[in-house]
Each structure stands twice: as C-alpha cells, then as structure tokens.
A and B are shown apart, each in its own frame.
Chain A
Amino acid sequence: MTMEFLNLKVPMALGGAHGKAPAGSTEGAGNRGRRIEQIALAVALIAIVAALPSLNIGYRFLSIAITTGYTAIALYGLGLQFGQAGIMSVGHAAMLGVGAYTAAMLSNHLGVGFWAALPASIVFAAIAGGLVGLPSLRVSGQHYIIITFCCCALLVICLTNGGKLTGAATGLDVGSIPRVFGINFDKLFNYYYLVLAALVITLGLVYAIVNSSYGRTLRSIRENEQLARAIGINVDLHKIGVFMASGAFAGLAGILQVYYLRHISPTLYGAFPSLYLALMVMLGGGRLIYGPLIGAIIVNFLPEVMDLNPVDSRIAYGVALLVVILLLPGGVSSGLLAIYRWICGRLFGRVSKAGS
C-alpha cells in the first residue's frame, strides 16, 4: 500500500507550491497575500487550541490532546521525510523510542533531568535517524520500507534485552519536570502548554524548511532523483539530512512522551505504534503543512468521539485509510484545502460580481 502511495500524484503542497517571488513581479502581491492568510490561520488555530483548557474540557480530553500534540511533532518529522523527500518509514516509533529512552536512561542512571536531557534526546534521535537512513542510499521503495520495519524490531529487541540499563521488558520510570518560573508541570494543563509550545516551534521550523531552497531540493529528490543528481544536487547527503531532521523531531516527541507517561516500556516503540505513525501521516497528508496535525487529531480523537473500542477503532482506521487512498490520495488535508479553495473561489467570485 505504501508503494502505491509513493507514486501517487498529489496536488501541490500548500507551503511548497510557491517559492520566493522575485521583487517587483506581479506574483509578489498574491504570494504575500497567501502568506498573510496562512499566518492568520495559524494564529487563529493556536489561539483556539491555547484557549481550550480554560473551557473546562476535562482531564480525559486534555490527556488525549497532549498525546495528539507530541504525536504530531513526530509526524512532522515523518512528514518531511515522506511528504517532501518521498521516503516512507514504517519504523518511525523507533526514533521516538531513542528520544524517550535517552531521556529515561539519563534520568535513571545519571540523574539528568528533563531540560538537560532535551538536547540529548533530540541529538541521539537525529543520529539514529541518520543511521537508519543509510540503507536508503542503496535500496529504495518498498525494500527500504521493510528495512525501517526491521530497524524498529531490532530496537525493541535491544530494549527488551538491555537489562538494568533499559529496564528490560518492564521499562523505566522518570520523575517530574522541575519547575521553571514556578510552573508546575505535574499539572496537566501546564504540560499541555509545554507540548503546545513544542508543537508551535515544530510547525514554524517545518514551515520554514518546506518553503526554503532546502525544501525545494528535497522535493526535487522526491520527484526525480536522477535529474536531481544531473543538476548537481548531492542526493545522498540530503537524504541523510532529512532522516536526521525527521529523527530530531521524533526525539523531541519522545522526551515529551516519556515525561508525560512517566513510565515507558519497549512495546511503545514497536511495530504497531510505527504503523500508526505511518497511517496518521498518510491519513492527514504528508505534503501539506497541516496534514500531520490533522492525521494525529483524527487517529487520537476518533475512537473517543465515536466511542469505539480498540478493535473497532482499528477497523475504522483501516477503512479510513482505504477511503483516503482511493478518494483523497493527498490525505484529508488536501481534501480540506480543495474545499477551502472552492469556498474562497465562490466568495471571491461573488465579491467581484458585486463590485462590477
């Protein structure tokens, strides 16, 4: 299924479709207009999400929102790798695992707390991402996807057999995040804001990457590796680069996960969580800036909203994925974008008619 996905033609990326317009060109104004439109949308979304806890939404909702938040952070990394560079991974939970276990091991064995472990989690997960990316220079398509799956299984085996170091099958516990400016992160809504801040930073970084010349380079690799090489692009280097970026976001997600759950074990980072991450990116759409977030929201909130048990929800995901593959190959986000553009078109059509 993933292979089909790699070859499907998807509408132009919201962020990626338009680059820097040359000064004085007629497109400049339209481009700037769109950018302002996007920033306004982002600010509005952040404001709504930030206001949620004050609406007395309950702890259950808040916990799901936190899970959605750190999952989305990991998905943004996977979105860069899959949506921009065109390389899918079904072992991405392993990258979260490296971030989470780095933090948990530093805490348990060296007494290093959250803030000092944060950069370490990001760096180690980035390195792990680069290492898992190495085989992609030799094999591609579904063959590489299988390799990512194997890497994930390998990590679970290592963690399970890591003895005291990794806590074996039982896993590891961590304490709470020390207060900063008197903020108590044991309070759920404070943790929610921490995750929200990390998510906003992630969104900003990903937006910048997608719209930079680096983002274009990644898309050129996705579309035609041979041509990219022929015009002087170091394809191998950029592939490893995007795997490391992808790993770094997963590392950030991982440390946020472990300090939220307070306890982690190897099963959190195995095949099933990995497949869920791949599913969420495909559902939401990897190429559009809100795709990963939408994917995370659907998969985390759907069972809650529809009151599904775990078995039913898995069936629902399967059906949802099939529907998306067949009807919306760019994911739900590209469908929403099409609807949004259509509505705008209708509105602007009316406005110009009224004006004339």
Chain B
Amino acid sequence: MAALEINGLSKAFGGVIALGGVDLSIPDDRITGIVGPNGSGKTTLFNVITGVYPPTGGSITWHGEDISGRAPHQIARKGLVRTFQQAMSFPGLSVKENIQIALERGSRQLRGQAPRWHTPEDLLDFVGLGGRGGDDAGSMPFGNLRRLGVAVALAANPVLLLLDEPAAGLSDGEANMLADLIMKLPEMGIGVCLIDHHMTFMTALCQRLIVLDFGTKIADGTTQSVLTDPKVMEVYLGGEL
C-alpha cells in the first residue's frame, strides 16, 4: 500500500463536479506527476487532500490513517505539505522570517529524524536564494517567489510535498534549476507529487504520470506509456504533448 491512498474521492461545487470519484495511490519515496487540461480538477485534488475543502465523497488514507475532513494544519503536521498555484509567501516579512516561521513549525514535527536544515540560511542556500534573507518577501521577482514558496513548504518538514505548478511562469533556465532541486528531494526522504503543464519538465522529473480530465483519472502509469496512450492524446488533441 502506498503512503497516500485515495479511494472514490469526489468533490462538487454546487453543480460543478470538480472530482468525480478518483482512485489514486501516491508513494512518498519518489516523484509522481499529475497532468490534465485546465479545469480538470488537479488543484481541487490538492485542496481536498490538504483539508482546504472537505470531500463530497470517498476517502483519503495517509499511512493507514483516514485524514478526510481534518483541518489543514493537522494534515500539514502529518507531513502532507503543499504549495499553491498562485505563488504565495508572507509578503510583509523578510525572506528569512518567512523561512524561520515555517522552520519553527516544522521542527515540532521531526518524526524522530534530525532536522534537515538548521537555520533559514541553510535552506535558502539549498533553494538557491542564498544571501537573499534580508529581502522583503512581498517585492521579490517571480522566480524567487516561487523558490521561496518551495522553501517555506520544505521548512515545514514534509513527508510528501505537493507542488502545484511550481514551474508556471518561470523561464527555461529557472525551470531547470527548480527541476534539479526537486530531483534531489526523494533521496532526502521527501516524496513529491507534482502538478504541471510543462511536459519537458514533467518527463524529466517523473517516472510515473497520472492524467486527470473532467475530474476523473483517464490514465495512470509510466511516463512513456501515458504519453503514448490514445485517450491522453485525444484529450490533448496532440497539441501540448
């Protein structure tokens, strides 16, 4: 059984069925990719997993424990930490204080491990923001803001990191740097579940891809098999792939 088991998960917003009974298992020792056209329910999936919305139906099991309906902070403390599609930070505070807040929180959920980063500076170096600690988080260039978002999530000590379009809006160079960073996470004991539209970025990072369309899973398998799946080709009209 994988770390995160999702069974028959559904979520409706009034008449809009954002998720229509999704079954997924996501391990916490590698990188799993989720793709799908706009509005296919990817972000909603993250929102429901992390407790932002209660599911309309189905179950979410994390390491054998049912976590559906838990509050977001409780889920985060169990090691399921997400980033946001709209890059987010604590804008009025310094970059260092942003990290410090998350590190102080994360250090209370060490789960018997030694802390990976002892100081905000360590983590800033890791994400390539070394020396930027004194900057105001609210007035950073977009690429740095994305990296800060990842750093804040990492500081909260995730077991499985859920990244919602971390490469959106980045230049190719910035996306490559981010890919290198994400690639290092599994060997540090952090699983990754990644949403993105950027296919070269996804194929470089993920051995496994899950494809959502209209709130249902239409493909799930090795990246190669998924990319050649006729159903997937049809959804993307051959265009984006």
A residues touching B (Cβ–Cβ < 8 Å)? Answer: 9-10, 12, 16-17, 19, 22, 25, 213, 216-217, 219-220, 222-224, 226-235
Beyond A25-B121, A231-B101, 4 additional contacts (C-beta under 8 Å) are: A213-B100, A224-B88, A227-B84, A230-B84
> Distance in Å from the Cβ of A229 to the closest Cβ of chain B?
4
Q: Are the CB atoms of A216 and B97 closer together than 8 Å?
A: yes
- Contact of A231 with B119 at beta-carbon distance under 8 Å, contacts A9-B92, A224-B88, A224-B89 already known: no
Q: Which of B127-185 contact A (CB under 8 A)?
A: 136, 138, 152-153, 155-156
Q: Which of A219, A226, A233 contacts B84 (CB 8 A)?
A: A226
Asked whether, in the complex, the Cβ of B105 is within 8 Å of the Cβ of A227, the reply is no
Give the chain A neighbours of B233 by CB distance below 8 A: none
- Residue contact A220 to B101, C-beta cutoff 8 Å: yes
- Separation in Å of the A226 CB from the closest CB of chain B? 7
Q: Contact check, B77 vs A232: say whether CB atoms are below 8 A apart.
A: yes
Kindly state the separation between the CA atoms of A150 and B82 in the bound complex, as whole angstroms. 38
Q: How far is the CB of A164 from chain B (nearest CB, A)?
A: 45
Measured CB to CB, the nearest residue on chain A to B122 is A22
Are A219 and B156 interface neighbours, CB within 8 A?
no
Assess whether A223 is in contact with B93, with CB atoms less than 8 Å apart.
yes
Question: Do B138 and A227 touch across chains, with their CB atoms under 8 A apart?
Answer: no
B8 at the interface (CB under 8 A from A): no
A9 pairs with B155, CB closer than 8 A? no
Instruction: Tell me whether A230 and B138 are in contact in the complex, defined as CB-CB below 8 angstroms, given that A22-B118, A219-B93, A223-B93 are known contacts.
Output: no
Identity of the chain B residue whose Cβ is nearest the Cβ of A86 in the assembled complex: B92
Size band of the interface chain B makes with A: 35 or more
A sample of 18 inter-chain contacts (CB < 8 A) reads A22-B118, A213-B104, A216-B93, A216-B100, A216-B101, A217-B101, A219-B92, A220-B101, A224-B90, A227-B90, A227-B152, A229-B71, A229-B72, A230-B84, A231-B105, A231-B106, A231-B156, A232-B105
A residues less than 8 Å from B76 (CB atoms)? 229-232
A333–chain B nearest beta-carbon distance, Å? 16
Identify which of B76, B77, B83 gathers the most chain A CB atoms within 10 Å of its CB: B76
In the complex, the answer to whether B92 meets A222 with C-beta atoms within 8 Å is yes
Contact between B73 and A234 (Cβ–Cβ < 8 Å)? yes
Partner of B90, one of A9, A213, A223, A235: A223
Query: In the bound complex, do residue A223 and residue B91 qualify as a contact, i.e. CB atoms below 8 Å apart?
Result: yes
Please give, as numbers and ranges, the residues of chain B lying within 8 Å of A234 by CB-CB distance.
71, 73
Of the candidates A25, A213, A224, A230, the one whose C-beta lies within 8 Å of that of B50 is: A230
Q: Is B102 an interface residue (CB 8 A)?
A: yes
Enumerate chain B residues within 8 angstroms of A12, measured Cβ to Cβ.
92-94, 136
Whether B92 contacts A231 by the Cβ 8 Å rule is no
Q: How far is the CA of A228 from the CA of B106 in the complex (A)?
A: 12
**How long is the Cα–Cα vector from A224 to B72 in the complex, in angstroms?**
14
**Inter-subunit contact B94/A17 (CB<8 Å):** yes
The answer to whether residues A224 and B118 also contact, given A231-B155, A232-B73 and a CB cut-off of 8 A, is no
Bound: A232/B81 CA distance, A: 8
B109 at the binding interface (Cβ < 8 Å): yes
Find A232's partner among B97, B109, B118 (CB 8 Å cutoff).
B109
How many angstroms from the CA of A152 to the CA of B96 in the assembled complex?
A: 39
The chain A residue with its CB closest to the CB of B83 is A230
> Residue on A with the closest CB to B90?
A223
Closest residue of B by beta carbon distance from A214: B104
Task: Enumerate B185-205 residues with CB–CB distance to A below 8 Å.
Answer: none
Question: Which A residue's beta carbon lies closest to that of B79?
Answer: A232
Cα–Cα distance between A230 and B138 once the two chains are bound (Å): 18
Chain A residue with the shortest CB-CB distance to B156? A231
Find chain B residues with CB under 8 A from A228 CB. 90, 101
Compute how far the CA of A136 lies from the CA of B136 in the bound complex, rounded to whole angstroms: 28
- Closest partner residue, chain B, to A213 (CB atom): B104
Residues of B within 8 A of A222 (CB): 92
Complex: A16 Cα to B105 Cα, angstroms? 17
Chain B min CB distance to A216 (Å): 5
**Within the complex, what minimum Cβ distance (angstroms) separates A236 from chain B?**
8
Closest beta carbon of chain B to A211's beta carbon, Å: 11
Q: Are A233 and B88 in contact (CB under 8 A)?
A: no
Instruction: Report if A229-B73 is in contact (Cβ < 8 Å); known contacts: A9-B92, A9-B138, A216-B97.
Output: yes
Q: How far is the CB of A9 from chain B (nearest CB, A)?
A: 6
